[in-house]
Chain A
Amino acid sequence: MSIIRTITRLLSGLRTAGNRSVTWMAPHQEGCVVCGKAFGQAQPAEVRSGGAPAAARLLNHSLCISCRSSIPWLERILCPICGRGIHCEDCGRRPNRHFVLNRSAVTYDPVMRSWLALYKYRGLERLAPLLAEMLVPPFLKLTEELAKAAPAAPSLPRNAGIHPFRIALHNRSLKNQPANGIWDAVAFVPISAERAEERGFNQAAELARYLSRRYGIPSYDLLVRAHHSEKMSFKSRAERMRVAKSLFEVNESSLKELEALHADASRELRVLLIDDIYTTGSTVEACSEVLLRHACQPLKVYVLTWSRS
């Protein structure tokens, strides 16, 4: 017994050493990614990070203390639908919602607004992994809730007609710890071709890609933005709802592929839809609506956004 214990201890020691060596070997960072201030000698390791230690490491190593402590984590959720920290009437006002619920990482306060602007409008793509890492706590919490409610999906057989890579990815996602077969796909809110040309990247897609890679959930381009609209941030609530209605279309081939992969699934398909910000919910509502309309199988859309305004 004692040998086994020794070996276990040795292994865990090795693992921590390995983890630490990663931080030692990481390229020397000259300062905080956001404010550029140089780090003090002593960066306290432990910091509140939305209740999840998983998010802590990257945040610890790329943010200074004052930036880290200025993150307004959304930990106490009072509206079970839109994930707000206050009770809200919006969700009551929308009788036929097409997504199940929304969860956000942070409250959209001026500091978060400036961070998002730095990334989205300035184009500081260095921030992408950091912002995506901030999605991890709500993602894990949501996954946990779902895992409690329903048993995991079975592993996929090697049946014909589906690309073997997809099957491998699917099966790997089952083995991979926390996601554990809860999610069938990660999707993201698309941007228009004009915006893509101008900005050079899609922030929601980058966030989705990060989660997909980290938890082994396959990512799909399920949606296409049909036509270019003015920036949503210049619009009123009613305007947003009206415009958002006809904004999105489904990428048929991608949806077909997803459905074929899960043709004999025992439960409905679960899609995690990612966006950077949830304001009135009209964007994700429009996306979910069009997804449900085109889906041939029962499908549920869960929304995960970076910030909740």
Chain B
Amino acid sequence: MRAYLYALRRNGKWEGRVTIAPEVDRAYWFGGSHAAQEHVEAAWFWKEQLPLGQACQIAEWWRMGERGGKYIRGSDRRGRAKKKAEKRAVSLLEQGASSDKVWVDGLIELECMIRLTGDDAATSAKRGRSWRLWFKRKKRRESGITEAELARLLACAELWRREPNGAARGGVDAAAAERAASLLSGRALLSGEARELLGAGGPGAAASWREAIQLAALLGRVRLRGAVAAVEGGRPDARRRLRCRRCGSGEARLRRSRCLACGRLCSYCEACLTMGRSRECELLVEGVYEPLAQQGLGGGRGAWPAAREAETAPVAGRLAHWGLSPAQLAATEEALHFIEGRAVQGRPKLRVSRQPTGERSDIRNFLLWAVTGAGKTEMVFPLVESVLRRGGRALIASPRRDVVLELDPRIRRAFPEAAVVTLYGGSEQRWERGDITLSTTHQLFRFHHAFDLVILDEIDAYPYHGDPLLKYAADKSCLPGAPRLLLSATPPIELQRAAKRGELAHARVPVRYHRHPLPVPILRRSPPVHAMLSSGKLPASLQKVIQASLDRGAQLFLFVQRIAQSEPFAALLRDKLRLPSALVAATSSQDPERSSKVAAFRTADIRVLVTTTILERGVTIPKSDVIIMDADGKLFDEASLVQMAGRAGRNAADPNGSVSFFAPERNQSQLRAVRHIRTMNRFARARGFLLESGKRGSRS
């Protein structure tokens, strides 16, 4: 994409500005209907279109130059350009130029900047074009601008000044801009997506999308930038390095190629290619979301206001109607105090100044460490309610699409009046913006500072855990200063440590909502799965466990390591246990019928489901047992084993499901998983959360 550039003289200073619809800018600054024109004197409009990336770079450098910054280490390129421009302008004035050329220094500066950032500038500097030419140019510059040169410059540009009759020209519908701004609020979209979003509202809007977005940008409601660009601010040497603004990838994932859209070598991002191509000359539209802090609750930008006691009902009263268990209640209360910015009574205020390494410092994290089946979703409800009550927007994001889909009906039931938007790849609600957004972490690339409360579910799950891009997306979606809740049954070790050291605010829920202890896995010895498959034999101990589950009428999760093993193992089970084939099924991430099989499993049409770690979380079956084959395998670590074991006994009617680890060997992961589960049970007993302990509700 290409854009136009102009130099605007305001308050006696020149500033570089980019536009994708020049007529809008002209009408805005000089048309007469806007209040913004007070101190605007004139503008030089460069008639030739420039690659968007270049135009944005010029505007950015210009801004920095006004603040006295240097662009590139060791040299002040724009400063020199400015000096040159002043010199040339002065000499021009001395030559006695006519009065309407007084502003020509702005034009000269503009031209200098274009040359500085242009491709031929880069290549000539690199190739070291003949020194003679360089000297000649230098000499000519020092002696000032010639009439011929000036004529050439004037032909390239157009002077904008206030129209004498004051009529607005090229007037855009202010309502359209307003509409565009409100639709784009909190989004970060490529131009094609923005067009689609505006088009979703009606066919008329799509036609003049450039004008609408440009006016919104002038009004400060959206920001227009290159989708791949150098880092803003920062150290001078970092400024040459490009970065994808949408996914945060650095140069390693960028690739330069000849671009027909802008006509020069242009980098595109390979990391987020699946969401549309982000490149140097591609427009990234970032809509500004007016955060809760500015919507009447007082407090400056970015500062989360402490909700006033008078406005919100007492915490205990608000929590009462959600029907939480004592353990849930205790943790939720703590979290609620945290997001509302109040210290818990009787407890010292948590130190949150030092964040775990690599965290954005302006996000306030809170770790909710709740065992599998603790009822995390129910605990989240009061927090979401708190934000909604204050007119804010909440986000619940999960790395897994299945989890998002399962959450959707529960949220809608809990908040019937709120607008709920569910986002995943191919979602129908792609362009809607609601009070509550449910989303896969991938979809967060399309948001920018958009939520007053971010709740990240299953933070240790693939693909979120260990993926810097998704982390970037999750950080980006959060408003500066807003609270963020991290949910997990098995938090990554660095978060566990940070929580222990008191650097990360947290609450632990060691017991399930039904207040029975977690089923402790039983370790059994068996040959590996591949041996069973090749010999066609099932060990008697395994058959016995499966038979026991079937006899007691429970559903059975059977986890294997590899996708390739799932189907053959299901076949082996059917054969050996003489089960009707419909009762045993296998599924994996590569199974197109996965969702229908999971649905059939839920309705008990399928009794035994052979699967991989894809179903380790998010799926809740009332009466279920778990068998993990090859539990010593590399793909099953402690977290994964705990999660899979957590599929059993989730319902109050059947709290004691059985969990068995079958493996040729006992290894650290299995033992740690068992220890993890035992520790949680012990902790729950000590806090009096378990039913058997008889100290029901002693703390609440």
Which residues on A are within 8 Å of B, measured CB to CB? Answer: 122-126, 196-202
Contacts A122-B274, A123-B273, A123-B277 hold; do A201 and B258 have CB atoms under 8 A apart?
Answer: yes
Are A125 and B268 touching (Cβ within 8 A)?
Answer: yes
**Are B270 and A197 neighbours in the complex by a CB distance under 8 Å?**
no
Q: Is A200 touching B261 in the complex (CB atoms < 8 A)?
A: yes
Residue of B nearest to A125 (CB): B257
Please name the 9 residue pairs, one residue from A and one from B, whose CB atoms are nearest each other, closest first.
Answer: A196-B260, A123-B277, A200-B261, A200-B259, A125-B257, A197-B261, A200-B260, A122-B273, A201-B260
Q: How many A-B residue pairs have CB under 8 A?
A: 34
When the two chains form their complex, are residues B266 and A200 in contact, meaning their CB atoms are under 8 A apart? Answer: yes
Residue of B nearest to A201 (CB): B260
Residues of B participating in the A interface, judged by any CB pair closer than 8 Å: 1, 255, 257-261, 266, 268, 270, 273-274, 277, 279
- CB of B291 to closest CB in A, whole Å: 35
Given contacts A200-B259, A200-B268, list 20 more A-B pairs with CB under 8 A: A122-B273, A122-B277, A123-B268, A123-B273, A124-B270, A124-B273, A125-B257, A125-B268, A126-B270, A196-B261, A197-B1, A197-B260, A197-B261, A200-B260, A200-B266, A200-B277, A200-B279, A201-B258, A201-B259, A201-B260
In the complex, chain A residues whose CB is within 8 Å of the CB of B255:
125-126
Closest to A121 in B: B277
Can you pick out 26 interface pairs between chain A and chain B where the beta carbons lie within 8 Å of each other? A122-B274, A123-B268, A123-B273, A123-B277, A124-B270, A125-B255, A125-B257, A126-B255, A196-B260, A196-B261, A197-B260, A197-B261, A198-B261, A199-B260, A200-B257, A200-B259, A200-B260, A200-B261, A200-B266, A200-B268, A200-B277, A200-B279, A201-B257, A201-B258, A201-B259, A202-B260
Residues of chain A lying within 8 A (CB to CB) of residue B259 = 200-201
Q: How far is the CB of A256 from chain B (nearest CB, A)?
A: 24
A198 to B261, CA, bound (A): 7
Please indicate the chain B residues that have their CB under 8 angstroms from the CB of A198 in the complex: 261
Min Cβ gap A2→B in Å is: 49
Residues on A with C-beta less than 8 A from B279 are 200
Per the bound structure, the CA–CA distance linking A125 and B261 in Å amounts to 14
Residue on B with the closest CB to A198? B261
Name the B residues within 8 Å of A126 (CB-CB): 255, 270
- Would you give the shortest CB distance from B211 to chain A, in whole angstroms? 18
Chain B residue at minimal CB-CB distance from A193: B260
How distant is A31 from chain B, measured CB to nearest CB, in Å?
13
- What residues of B have a CB within 8 angstroms of the CB of A200 in the complex? 257, 259-261, 266, 268, 277, 279
A196 to B1 alpha-carbon distance, docked (Å):
10
* Max count, chain B CB within 10 A of own CB: residue among A198, A199, A200, A201: A200
Alpha-carbon gap, A198 to B274, bound state (A): 16
Bound-complex Cα distance A199 to B257 (A): 12
CA of A199 to CA of B258, assembled, Å: 11
Chain B residues positioned under 8 Å from A197 (CB to CB): 1, 260-261
With A and B bound together, what is the CA distance between A78 and B261 in angstroms?
A: 41
Separation of A122 and B277 alpha carbons in the complex (Å): 7
Q: Which residues of A contact B273 (CB under 8 A)?
A: 122-124
Q: How far is the CA of A124 from the CA of B1 in the complex (A)?
A: 18
C-alpha spacing A299/B279, complex, angstroms: 41
The interface residues of chain A lying within 8 Å CB-to-CB of B258 are 201
Q: Which of B1, B274, B277 has the most CB of A within 10 A?
A: B277
Contacts of B274 in A (CB 8 A): 122
Query: How far does the alpha carbon of A126 sit from the alpha carbon of B255 in the complex, in Å?
Result: 8
Question: How far in angstroms is the closest Cβ of chain B from A205?
Answer: 9
- Measured CB to CB, the closest approach of chain B to A235, in angstroms, equals 23
**A residues less than 8 Å from B260 (CB atoms):** 196-197, 199-202
Considering the complex, give the chain B residue whose CB is closest to the CB of A118: B273
> How far is B279's CA from A126's CA once the two chains are assembled, in angstroms?
14
Chain A residue numbers with a CB within 8 Å of B257 are 125, 200-201
Tell me, in angstroms, the Cα distance from A201 to B261 when the chains sit together.
8
CA distance A200 to B278 in the complex (A): 12
In whole angstroms, what is the CA distance A95 to B415 when docked? 70
CB nearest to B279 among chain A residues? A200
Residues of B with C-beta under 8 A to A196 = 260-261
In the complex, A248→B274 CA distance in Å? 32
- Please indicate the chain B residues that have their CB under 8 angstroms from the CB of A123 in the complex: 268, 273, 277
Q: Which residue of B lies closest to A122 (CB)?
A: B273
Report the separation of the CA atoms of residues A199 and B273 in the bound assembly, to the nearest whole angstrom.
13
Shortest distance between the CB of B228 and any CB in chain A (Å) = 12
Write out the residue numbers on chain A whose beta carbons fall within 8 Å of the beta carbon of B261: 196-200
B592 to chain A, nearest CB (A): 14
A residues in contact with B277, CB < 8 Å: 122-123, 200
Chain B residue contacts of A124, Cβ below 8 A: 270, 273
Q: Roughly how many angstroms separate A197 CA and B262 CA in the complex, as a whole number?
A: 8
